Structure 1
């Protein structure tokens, strides 16, 4: 018998001992980070106060109680009973039964009506049919990504369950080493922006945090073949943890599956969906530009299949000696500050990912309250001594002025923006400004993935700010559905018509002008002195966006070395509107550290240009008298 089986036998005996004699325990199983208990008395266990809570405290594991097969009413009968039980105004769209888990997934427009007061309707469903109801919200905006991900995971249920069981056994394997240390290796994004990747290792476990590309620098990828990284093969990793979906953090995760990785990815549910959207677009852009992408769409699907979504605040075992807790980072939808608790209280390290410390229209600010933190790995994108962004209210005023001036000149305003995060923030600003009459009502064209990314935001309203969630769900005032927002779905022909038409605002990808539809807009509007290009986000060194921002008035579009290269003279106005970035500025980063509880002993400043990380590191050392570092790529730190 394997050690995992022995562990399960021991746990089953503990469960039987801790539960009342009238409750039968059929079996227990590891599924990912959860311990699943199968019993014909699942409803009894759920209704009796304290059983699940006491088991979780005793076993120190997340508990999921499921009914056995014989406790389930046949699906056809159950469907009729559930339909009769749920109020008609809940807007139920679909019922999906998973016999192996005993769960019925109820997709509804109004999940609250399905749940009932204090969960009364769910309890009634479980009592009458035996199935465990799980409620899924119907997105207020139709999202092909959310639909495709849900359908794909439904098709792959059997294999996904095998993956979860294998992961669960790996997490719960016995520890074997007598050594006791914690090391961190930098594989990218040190003294540079992009290709984020780190290895967190102990004698027992190895965790990869992020695996991204470098904007504007094709071929510069994380140092995955380094001895401290994957020299022993991808399956030397216990897990991959993804802080958020932007490609400089997520683009190269599928390449791990191309080379044989078969383990879990931990992130939030919206990050999973956005990751799939952005990675598939990454492949599409590479193909259109004649580049050979580093992986195929199948590896994107493999990554989705191996993703285990976590909710903010849930402490989760991801290795025999490592627990992970994700907290809101305030950067984009689902972005997380990742806190790792190592050993039995031996060491704690937090990775900020990308953070925004203050609240925005879209999201609450980053969380910086933890039980313990000895080391903080802190992004430094705007950590330079002069990187102070304009207050958002002032930024919005400046943007309104830019738009009004362009409108008066009968021109267009071209705004390159990240599809995820900045675009939605700008949509909220523009919708309110037009509604209040601060700028003229005019078409706002969404080009690239922006509309689809926006639809994903509405599928996860619980991750948005309270007032925005309230408007979307309960006040029937979804600002993202304002009639002035129009999708560009007619290709270059439609773009030409827009360029020839009345004044308009164009939100388009990519945010750093490294490819995508913004290139077509530069061809169409670049020579128009009445139009304006407004930068609202960070432009990394080496990107075309940075070149234009610095005043370059002639650019090359297409393959710069090939026969299709095209020179374009820029006569349109170029403006930079600070304050809309999803990153904290210098003051925000210092405030994050100053108010952090507890304040860490050591900080590694990463994800910023060399001068920026050096300046932030020095400032934090002088201001807070703590150990700080400005690491280079391929450095290893012994943390404990």
Structure 2
């Protein structure tokens, strides 16, 4: 088997891996790098430009795995795009939103490369999506060669899949992004068990060990208690969330907490892509039963749109819970603007519910808890830090110990590390070399070809 990591910057970003298995040329994912702009945000497809792809696999619909799909699909028009059933609904919606964001960035930031693709390209991708049920293998033929492809539920987010290839009795598994714990909206991962020849393993949380006393349930309890305290002192609570996955789970957490009397009844404000995706979750629930999300929750909570006339520094008159994207409070997003209104007032609070990149506004605020001020650069506003700021570990990724244990039980002949920053991969490299002495552990350099 040949393997090339096409994410030109390494780490977590434009996730895309090419593998040649027998006669089959296969691409797993084609994402956009969230910290890069223009064509630099894409994977580098040059190493495969002279090849004909036989299969394209989409593991899930976060843009770091999906956002470059229209580009590579147009370069390889005959390759079917295999994905799970929920992604037939989610992928086109996420890509259409990406076009709108790129058009706005072209105007605001003068990025002439944007948009990288158009709505007609999304329509073309939609027609080529091949839905495959979880844990039901499908066989593909090329001449005299054959390969079996099985998707397994990976937790993480609705539609997320691990991918298993069986070729001439060899099992090759891409973990995708994994969460073993169940969320409020979907079950945990059910990855293929038993001996594997080659395992391509995500390493997202490799730099962080979870404290033994902390788990998802205890973090949910702490979040509810914190939100209740903010509301009881007369403040508003901002919860920055990712539109796909985290917003829907938080809606259910808040709804259940209110029903059990742990949160006071108060206005809940939400807007944008995440709300639209709630409608898609309802359709997925009805058609596949793979998610647990009832759109009626939003009606019962009387979810409202935030006031569009907010100004930096001026507290929001409509007190309540603001559940908006982006999860890292990226500039020009609703959470960024709402934070600029809430941060200077001590009754308010901001509750981050997942990882924030250190270079994003959310990461900067979390990194300097003792700072007296925070400068909202896009708004040219220096805000006094008066509101409370807390972080809760409700990540969509499995703990490093869980993933390492999965790798060890697989007895894989080779483990390839992916989807992790340098220090995260280094932890996995040392851990797996110590516990899998008979296996080869590879931390691939971007764009280098490996024979495995």
Task: State the TM-score, normalized to the length of structure 1.
Answer: 0.63
Counterpart position of 1:631: 444
Alpha-carbon offset, residue 585 of structure 1: 1.4
Give 1:329's match in structure 2, choosing from 154, 159, 169.
154
Alpha-carbon displacement from aligned partner over 1:187-226 (angstroms, at most 9, x marks no partner): 1187511211000114522111111112223244344333
1:297-333 Cα offsets, whole Å, 9 max, x none, are 1111111111111110121134523221000001111
Aligned to 2:205: 382
- CA shift at 1:482, angstroms? 4.9
Q: CA deviation at 1:521?
A: 1.4
Matched with 1:178 is: none
Would you say 1:216 and 2:72 are equivalent positions?
Answer: no
The equivalences for 1:124-523 within 5 A come to 182-188=1-7, 191-202=10-21, 204-219=23-38, 220-227=40-47, 229-230=48-49, 232=50, 236-259=52-75, 261-289=77-105, 290=107, 291=111, 292-320=114-142, 321-342=146-167, 344-345=168-169, 347-370=170-193, 373-384=196-207, 386-388=209-211, 390-461=214-285, 462-464=288-290, 468=292, 480-488=297-305, 492-493=308-309, 500-514=316-330, 515-523=332-340
How far apart are 1:567 and its partner, in Å? 3.2
Q: From 584, 600, 605, give the equivalent of 2:398.
A: 584
- The answer to whether the 8 Å contact 1:388/1:586 transfers is no
Question: What is the TM-score with the length of structure 2 in the denominator?
Answer: 0.88
TM-superposed CA distance for 1:635, in Å, is: 2.4
CA contact (8 A) 1:210 1:240 kept: yes
Q: Against the structure 1 CA distance between its residues 622 and 339, is the aligned structure 2 distance closer, same or farther, given a 3 Å change threshold?
A: same
Structure 2 distance, partners of 1:188, 1:637, is 15
Conserved? CA contact 1:378–1:606, under 8 Å: yes
Contact preservation (8 Å) 1:197, 1:222: no
Note if contact 1:363-1:463 (Cα within 8 Å) is conserved in structure 2.
Answer: no
How many Å separate the matches in 1 of 2:395 and 2:244? 12
Question: What is the SS of the residue equivalent to 2:125?
Answer: helix
Higher relative contact order (CA 8 A, sep 6+): 2
Q: What is the SS of the residue equivalent to 2:270?
A: strand
Q: Structure 1's 508 and 306: CA in aligned 2 closer, same or farther, altered over 3 A? A: same
Cα distance change of structure 1 residues 407 and 413 upon mapping to structure 2, 3 Å threshold: same
Preserved contact between residue 189 and residue 606 of structure 1 (Cα < 8 Å) = no
The number of equivalent residue pairs is: 432
- Tell me the equivalent position of 2:417: 605
> For the residues of structure 2 that align with 1:544 and 1:318, how far apart are their CA atoms?
46
Bigger proportion of residues as helix: 1
Cross-structure match for 1:554: 374
**1:191·1:630 contact (CA, 8 Å) conserved in 2?**
no
Q: Name the Cα RMSD after superposition.
A: 2.6
CA distance, structure 2, for counterparts of residue 240 and residue 192 of structure 1? 22
For structure 1, which runs of at least 5 residues remain unmatched after alignment?
1-181, 473-477, 559-564
Unaligned runs of 5+ in 2: none
Structure 1 pair 495–583 and aligned structure 2 pair: CA distance change class (3 A): farther
